[in-house]
Structure 1
Amino acid sequence: MELFDVTIVGGGPAGLYSTFYSGLRNLKTKIIEVQPVLGGKVNVYPEKVVWDVGGLPPVQAQVFAQNLINQAMIFMPTVYVNTKVEQIEKQGDIFAISTNSGDVHYSKTIIVAVGGGILNPIKLEVDEAEKYELTNLHYTILGMQRFRNKRVLISGGGNGAIDWAVELLRTAREVIVVYRNEQLTAHEAQVEKLNQHRVPILLNAEIQSFVSGTDDTVIEQVIISQNGETYQFEVDDVLISHGYNREKSLTFADSIEPKRKDDYYLVSQGQCATSVPGIFGAGDIITYDDKVGLLVGTFQDAVLAVNKAKMFIDPQADQYAMVSSHNEKFNEMNKEILEEVFTGGNK
């Protein structure tokens, strides 16, 4: 039985920064993520630009996620992906963590960083829609360039759909928005951008069916129903942005007392400690007075959770880690970085 000091459940920003900081505090660390890749919800919008992290210039979400992953791996944690935690049991002084693979992981402490749960896009309920998913029916955008000079139809009227529509104005030849309700629910500033570009917006409308050509896996036309009338649009690509189903990945920790029905854990402010001794939380899954729902708040949660886990294991430990500029763990890496700066990469 291999015993870890800290096991972090969730591989998004909160889990990744917890992983880095746990290594910084000399804790034997494992991270478990249900998705096949690390990065969490940031991967949903890979080409969005992140502006609100202090000291970091504006950066694409996919680059930001990779930076977080690289940082988390500095102290060589044990990583499990494609692994869902199904149950946590206390066995004496340690936690036994059972997963969907049948494996059991053992840990002195746990940091829950599962965000809002497991996100799965709400699929379009149209006959044979699945067969187009490998060609030109999309539920997210992994790269804007594939839509260059294309005619793209977007189904949805919330922030996700309209944000994508605005982004596509830079590359697509034409953007069409279809929404089943009477009014778009996205932020009015984004809607105004679409109006300024005279983007066709069909309200009280929804996709009825697709028409393929000689290749029956490629959509060539979309049949739209609006107020009892039927319309046909030729398209190159279709993007569905109807939101996400949130699978509450918290059934493994029923003993943790949630604050309310939506399953956010109420923790003591400044400690990130749940109602179960030895289990801590970080990121979107926890709530407390004056909780900041931004990435900067997530990083603060991660530091607090790790520090409390450290002191739970060793009550005599320092309350905080030594600052990185004085920490011997970074001495060699700092030398390499400074040499790169001074030599301009020319050794």
Structure 2
Amino acid sequence: MSSLFDVTIIGAGPVGLYTAFYSGLRALKTKVIDAEPDVGGKIRYFYPDKNIHDVGGIAEITGAELVQNFKMQAETFEPEFVLGKRVTSLIKQQDEIFLLKTEDGELHYSKTVIIACGSGTYEVNPLIAENAALHHAKTHYHLRDLEQFRGKKVVVSGGGDAAIDAAFTLLPIAKTVDLIYRGENFKGYEKRASDLLTSKIQVHLQHEITALNEGSELETVTVCAKASGEESTLSCEALFISHGVEVDFSFTKNWGLHTADWGIQVNPFMQTNLPGVYACGDAAAYSRKIRIISAGLHEGAIAVNSAKQYLDPDAANEAMVSTHHDHFTN
């Protein structure tokens, strides 16, 4: 058997990283496994340059900076990271030890498991339009490098928070920003959506992109008004597409976990239906769930405390606060 861990956390997004830190506070031998090649979850992939405002005590921080802070904090107690490995099976053996297997056949052993994999694995929904394949290099699904948009005429397609945030992020960098959405009203936060109407972003509601120009250089997009069917052309040198993602959460059912519409069912202790397996962050579902980072951090701490008492029923209900912890006082 390979090395046995007290806690294995599936998912290295912000919630998984903080959970690893809190697990260290509780003196638990901890491993973190993630399917992506680096930590940070969806923030690293989709929003590295987006300013994030909804984490308590931090007025504004970019996604990349926030992920770096979480990573630094998670490394405090030296957990083992296993990246680029997707867990495909979770089995509780007769000796009560969990066997986790990754898609490449690697085996991992743990006394408890905390699932913090967000909404599961995902793939972005691509732009479906004539000549889209000709301009793959100028069609973007995340804002990893803002400089590639500098001084360009950018068209953003989508109506959720990611599309709206992208449009505002690109506004001071791009030459022009047009925002296309096929719906009547934006789906993002009300305040951000209303701010669009007084910004310099050109908004085109009830329109959708039907074609990109022919040729090797992206120059225009054709948009169609849904009500009239009338087509018009917009100048465009770069595209940002935010048409949602296809999420795969089916693997949790194969593990024998009870799921709800939006995640794995847990009780107030973040316990799933399988003793010794917990869930937190977007992976967890319960009444009055709030899907923000701050809530996920709280859930991660609860999950760790539950795992600690599962392993040692006489353990304290929660960790000593970090200001009094030996690691920080020494």
Does TM-score exceed 0.5, indicating one fold?
yes
**Aligned residue pair count:** 325
Residue number in structure 1 paired with 2:325: 327
Q: Please list, as runs of the form range in 1=range in 2, the aligned pairs for 1:263-302 lying within 5 A after superposition.
A: 263-269=262-268, 271-302=269-300
How much is the aligned-residue C-alpha RMSD, in angstroms?
A: 2.2
Q: Does 1:118 align with 2:117?
A: no
- Partner residue, 1:343: none
Show the counterpart of 2:156: 154
Opposite residue 238 of structure 1, the aligned amino acid is: L
Counterpart AA for 1:276: L
Deviations 1:290-322 (A, max 9, x none): 434322211111111111111211223232222
Greater shift in the superposed pair: 197-206 or 75-84: 197-206
Q: Matched residues in 1 for 2:43 and 2:299: separation? A: 18
Alignment-mate amino acid for residue 72 of structure 1: A
| Pair 1:19–1:232, CA change in 2 (3 A) | same
CA contact (8 A) 1:166 1:193 kept: no
Note the 1:1-347 alignment, pairs <5 A. 1=1, 2-43=3-44, 44-92=46-94, 93-127=96-130, 129-130=132-133, 132-133=135-136, 135-197=137-199, 199-211=201-213, 213=215, 216=216, 218-226=217-225, 227-248=228-249, 250-251=251-252, 253-258=254-259, 260=260, 262-269=261-268, 271-332=269-330
SS at match of 1:219: coil
Q: 1:252 to 1:101 in 2, by over 3 A?
A: farther
Shift of 1:272: 1.1
In structure 2, what is the Cα distance between the partners aligned to 1:321 and 1:189? 38
Kindly state the Cα deviation for residue 127 of structure 1 after the two structures are TM-superposed: 4.9
* TM-score, normalisation: structure 2: 0.90
> What is the CA–CA distance in structure 2 between the aligned matches of 1:188 and 1:321, rounded to whole Å?
38
Q: Is the 8 A contact 1:94 1:108 kept in 2?
A: yes
User: 2:91–2:255: 8 Å Cα contact kept in structure 1?
Assistant: no
In the TM superposition, residue 102 of structure 1 has moved relative to its aligned partner by 1.0
**CA distance 1:268–1:186, shift in 2 (3 Å):** closer
Task: State the alpha-carbon separation in 1 of the partners of residues 297 and 263 from structure 2.
Answer: 18
Deviation of 1:276 (Å): 0.8
Q: Partner of 1:166: helix, strand, or coil?
A: helix
Kindly indicate whether the alpha-carbon contact (under 8 Å) linking 1:166 and 1:190 is maintained by their aligned counterparts in 2: no
Q: Which amino acid aligns with 2:307?
A: A
C-alpha displacement at 1:210, in angstroms?
Answer: 2.0
Q: Which amino acid aligns with 1:141?
A: L
Show structure 2 runs of 5+ residues with no match: none
1:137-183 CA distance string (max 9 Å, x none): 11111233332222111112223212222232222221112222344
Q: 1:192 to 1:326 in 2, by over 3 A?
A: closer
AA partner of residue 79 (structure 1): F
In 1, the alpha carbon distance for the partners of 2:64 and 2:176 equals 25
Q: Measure the CA separation in 1 of the matches of 2:193 and 2:272.
A: 41
Task: State the distance in 2 between where 1:309 and 1:183 align.
Answer: 44
Q: Distance in 1 between matches of 2:199 and 2:321?
A: 49
Are the counterparts in 1 of residues 131 and 214 from structure 2 also a CA contact under 8 Å? no
Work out whether residues 86 and 252 of structure 1, in 8 Å CA contact, stay in contact via their aligned partners in 2.
no
Distance 2:28 2:117 in 1: 20
In the TM superposition, what is the alpha-carbon distance from 1:249 to its structure 2 partner? 5.3
Q: Identity over the aligned pairs, expressed in percent?
A: 37
Return closer, same or farther for 1:296/1:20 CA change in 2, 3 Å cut-off: same
Greater shift in the superposed pair: 276-285 or 123-132: 123-132
Greater Cα radius of gyration, structure 1 or 2: 1
Q: SS of the residue aligned with 2:219?
A: strand
Question: TM-score, length-normalised on structure 1?
Answer: 0.86
Report the 3-state secondary structure (helix = DSSP H, G, I; strand = E; otherwise coil) of the residue aligned with 2:233: strand
After TM superposition, the runs of 4+ consecutive aligned structure 1 residues lying more than 6 A away are: none
Q: Secondary structure at the match of 1:246?
A: strand
Counterpart of 1:116, as a letter, is: S
Summarize the Cα distance change of 1:327–1:183 in structure 2 as closer, same or farther, 3 Å threshold: closer
Give SS of 2:49's match. Answer: coil
Between 1:285-294 and 1:8-17, the stretch displaced more is 285-294
* CA distance 1:5–1:253, change in 2 (3 Å): farther
Asked if the contact 1:88/1:252 (under 8 Å) is kept, the reply is no
